[in-house]
Chain A
Amino acid sequence: MKSGRNRLPVWLRNRFVWVKTIHGSISFAFSVLILGAIGITSIISYNLSEDAVIANSEAYMGEVVQQVGQNIQSYIDSMENISLLIFTSKDVKYYISDNPFISREEVYTYEKNISSLFQSLMYMRKDIDSIMVFGYNGRNVSDRKPTTLNPNVELEEQEWYQEAAGAKGKSFISAPHVQNIVEGDYQWVVSLSRELKNSNSMNGQGIALVNLKLNVINEISMGVKLGTRGYVFIVDREGNIVYHPQQQLLYSKLRTEPLSRVMSSSESSFVVDDESGKKIYSVQDTNFGWKIVGVAYQNELNANPEEMRNSFLLWAAAALAVTLIISFFLTHRITRPIRRLQIVMRQVERGNFKVRAEVEQANEIGQLERTFNMMVGQTQRLMDERIQTEETKRRTELRLLQSQINPHFLYNTLDSIIWMSEQKKNEEVVLMTSALAKLFRSSIARDDELVSIRIEQEHIASYLQIQKMRYRDMLDYRIDIPRELHAYKTPRILLQPFVENAIYHGIKHMPEGGIVSITAELQEDCILFHVTDNGQGMSEDTIKLLMSAGARNNDREHIGVSNVNERIKLTFGSAYGITITSEISEGTTVTVMIPKVR
């Protein structure tokens, strides 16, 4: 897994870095889920609507084609009615009967009557091309007077004649054809023919022919609106094309229609998918044997497929955008406490143990936050305790240090006393011994750390007195602490380490000796002590080394400058402490700043 991830190119890995966050991965999961869900539902519902549209259009086509069928049917019916009218006409019957008693004049009269009957029928029906009657007795009459039959056409060979003669009184409807029975007349018609019978014997006596102009069917078929490219065609019982707007293309095989499917299919509509697109075929039967077939291109029936698709896409996009935004905010809400906790943790990481996570919710994250807070609290307490323990330990240590008198010093002093006793300098022995006693008394005085400045002054005076007796002319000292400061408090043995340093490091090596002066002054809320010597001084680096914590040499013989500094800071706060200014071969001044405490 890990190695697989590493194999990703760098840019891709960077691009997906956000997925590694909880927010990122939840967002990503949400997005993928929503995208998938909306995508699938959109596609399904688009297809469903498309199906619905197709179903609707098929139904619509069915109605249209049925309408065409009914229209053609009504024309056929009217032809049928005309033929029945002829069938029942006494004049016609008499005219075509083989009654030998009719004279030539009478025949002419009958012809005239029948012809005018036909003419009046034709006058009413503009869609009829011609009406004719052919008697088996050789007589014929039509709406035209006189009628010259085409001498080159054999009547008995005509399909409409043969079919009607064989149909025993039933009507026959022909496919559209050119009617050439009348000389010089070639009209595209649909013929309805019927055998006429003698009312007595029921023997056939002639054929009635009604020709319907093909224009009528053409107009009906062309008038149908099935999209812009849709059309209607008609097939007869045998599956021959009766009418097709592009019949010549069919004859030339430049175009084909799925006739076998039209003839065999039991369903009223089916879909054919060829190179010109998906076409819906709607087949309608008529009671005279023809099948009316409507053809429409599917993409045209769906009034505006692009619009439908665009609106689908638009809605899908809108839904996606809304849900994505909502999911983003939801994720944000869920992950916000985690991120807040993360920020708090980072602060703790940097050492701030005072911060606490805000517990807002009572859920798992809330619990986590509470536990975290508890943990941080405990850690802080432990840390505080440790600091305190450390401080106490240090204080004790320092106290121990400061309460001790440097054994060298004591030894040297006692040596001096012995030396003075041998010299019988009693007075001086007394002086030194009493100074030593004072020194000791002030160092073991009491337990409380702070003493009055007066006592500190006594202590430092005793110390200096002893040192003065030891170094004689090498050392001079001056103590100038104003009286009004005597009442203020100061840590014990505050100044001795500096004086000691001034003597040992500043003055001792000077052949002509030096002066140590101790002054104090009040500055606002602080008391400043200055320990100044005119010794050999020291460099900035030495000062730095002296002040640094590393100089805290616990040799137990010297109380380091830094120790004092630390002590002051521990007692009074970091605002106080010591500063050293020094110049080589000019001298050093140590300034100790403590607060004004009574």
Chain B
Amino acid sequence: MGSKKLWLPLLLLGSVMLIGWMGLWKETPASSAGKIVLIMKTNDINNSYWQTVHSGALAAAKELKVPLELLGPIGAENPEDQRLLLKRAIDSKPAAIVLAPIREDGITKEIEASRQAGIKLIILDTPLLELDYDSYVSSDHIEEGRQAANRLGPGQVRKPVFALITSDESSTVSSQRTEGVQEVLSPGKAFNLGTYRIGMSEEQAYWTVKSLTIAYPDITGVIALTDVGITGAARALADVGLTHSVKLIGFDSSIPEIQLLERGQMHTLIVQNPFNMGFLGVQTADSLIRERNVSKMVDIPSTTITTANMYEPENQKLLFPFVY
């Protein structure tokens, strides 16, 4: 009889305690999610672009308190090395993989395996055209092409006359940028002198641009998709004394390009924001793991840098990555 009477108050007490606990519980954040693996195009410590991606990813991992593993081929951007890293990463069963694919073909099997394993897949930098993924975190390369093309002033009375200098037609990024350029500088709005493949030779770029200036003296712009293309073209334009009349436009920064900008030997650089890319890549992966809604494309706007604005504080950070 006595024990029966004791149970009800105890039950009451238990429920009150439970409610109290629940009330206090809500303040604590959810426990850390599963591991995220980020596979870069290269883990070369001299590659400031990828090292900045690295920094951004680490900052996000710290901020979000998620375990992060950063991988990348040592040295050059080797697709086979990257494939092996990807395979090993899938075997370690992470919650998400953030991948900056060097080449889409060749990793089909691995991507499919990761999809089947239920690993969230976030693509950085270079889009996947055929294969399936969860989210793509990058600058919009077509938009970059448009940004570059807009610097040439399409649609004016004097139509721009321009040439495209590329090295590797098979690069998805290059072809998307080209697409953007051609979209803005469509026939009718500008004269396209053609796309010239110069490989990885600065010399080839120099001679190509030099002959272009001779063949088409009214040329107003050169858009080069590689840094060797830029340096070769800048040298050619300086030699023929057209540095200021021909706008030289390039993508991504390197010390030679920065110096060309300083000297005014090139007009515009379209630069991406690798820190934000690394940060948002990891953040998106984390959101996916936590089953939050994530858009298929996370755009990181690229910045248009000219001689005039290159030393503004926010642009300094983009041009001169401070890697830590």
Known contacts A177-B313, A178-B311, A222 near B29 by CB under 8 Å = no
Q: Are A249 and B275 interface neighbours, CB within 8 A?
A: yes
Known contacts A299-B29, A324-B13, A248 near B262 by CB under 8 Å = no
C-alpha spacing A228/B32, complex, angstroms: 13
Residues in B whose Cβ lies below 8 Å from that of A150? 262
Q: Are B62 and A229 interface neighbours, CB within 8 A?
A: yes
Known contacts A31-B12, A152-B264, A306-B28, A252 near B273 by CB under 8 Å = yes
* B207 contacts chain A at the CB level, 8 A cutoff: no
Contact of A43 among B20, B65, B280 (CB under 8 A): B20
* A54 contacts chain B at the CB level, 8 A cutoff: no
Contact of A229 among B27, B56, B65 (CB under 8 A): B65
Q: Are B28 and A35 interface neighbours, CB within 8 A?
A: no
Residues in B whose Cβ lies below 8 Å from that of A573? none
Count, chain B residues at interface, CB 8 A = 45
Q: Which of A123-158 contact B (CB under 8 A)?
A: 150-153
Please classify the interface of chain B as helix (H, G, I), strand (E, B), loop, or mixed, using the class held by over half of its residues: helix
Q: Are A180 and B313 interface neighbours, CB within 8 A?
A: no
* A286 contacts chain B at the CB level, 8 A cutoff: no
* B251 contacts chain A at the CB level, 8 A cutoff: no
Q: Are A35 and B5 interface neighbours, CB within 8 A?
A: no
Residues in A whose Cβ lies below 8 Å from that of B13? 31, 35, 317, 320, 324
Q: Are B311 and A254 interface neighbours, CB within 8 A?
A: no
CB-nearest residue of chain A to B283: A254
Residues in A whose Cβ lies below 8 Å from that of B279? 246, 248-249, 254
CB-nearest residue of chain B to A158: B311
C-alpha spacing A150/B258, complex, angstroms: 12
Residues in B whose Cβ lies below 8 Å from that of A248? 56, 273, 275-276, 279, 314, 317-318
C-alpha spacing A309/B324, complex, angstroms: 38
Residues in B whose Cβ lies below 8 Å from that of A35? 9, 12-13, 16
* B263 contacts chain A at the CB level, 8 A cutoff: yes
Residue interface mask B1-31, A partner, CB < 8 A = 1: 0101110111011001100110010011100
* A313 contacts chain B at the CB level, 8 A cutoff: yes
Shortest A329–chain B CB gap in Å is 9
Shortest A309–chain B CB gap in Å is 5
Residues in A whose Cβ lies below 8 Å from that of B20? 39, 42-43, 313
* A239 contacts chain B at the CB level, 8 A cutoff: no
Shortest B247–chain A CB gap in Å is 18
Q: Are B316 and A178 interface neighbours, CB within 8 A?
A: yes
Residues in B whose Cβ lies below 8 Å from that of A42? 20
C-alpha spacing A43/B16, complex, angstroms: 12
Residues in B whose Cβ lies below 8 Å from that of A218? 322, 324
* A9 contacts chain B at the CB level, 8 A cutoff: no
* A11 contacts chain B at the CB level, 8 A cutoff: no
Shortest A297–chain B CB gap in Å is 9
* A4 contacts chain B at the CB level, 8 A cutoff: no
Most buried by A among B6, B13, B276, B314: B13
Known contacts A248-B275, A248-B276, A152 near B262 by CB under 8 Å = yes
C-alpha spacing A309/B273, complex, angstroms: 43
CB-nearest residue of chain A to B300: A252
Q: Are B255 and A186 interface neighbours, CB within 8 A?
A: yes
Q: Are B9 and A324 interface neighbours, CB within 8 A?
A: yes
Residue interface mask A448-486, B partner, CB < 8 A = 1: 000000000000000000000000000000000000000
Q: Which of A314-366 contact B (CB under 8 A)?
A: 316-317, 320-321, 324-325, 328, 332
- Interface positions of A (Cβ within 8 A of B): 15, 18, 23-24, 27-28, 31, 35, 39, 42-43, 46, 150-153, 175, 177-178, 180, 184, 186, 188, 214-215, 218, 222, 228-229, 240, 245-249, 251-252, 254, 276-277, 299, 305-306, 309, 313, 316-317, 320-321, 324-325, 328, 332
6 closest Cβ pairs, A-B complex: A31-B9, A251-B314, A152-B262, A248-B275, A178-B320, A178-B316
A-B contacts, 19 listed (Cβ < 8 Å): A23-B5, A28-B9, A31-B9, A31-B12, A35-B16, A152-B262, A184-B255, A229-B62, A246-B59, A248-B56, A249-B59, A251-B313, A252-B273, A277-B29, A299-B29, A305-B28, A306-B28, A309-B24, A324-B9
Extra contacts, 8 of them, besides A23-B5, A152-B263, A218-B322 (Cβ < 8 A), are A27-B6, A27-B9, A39-B16, A184-B255, A229-B62, A299-B28, A317-B17, A328-B6
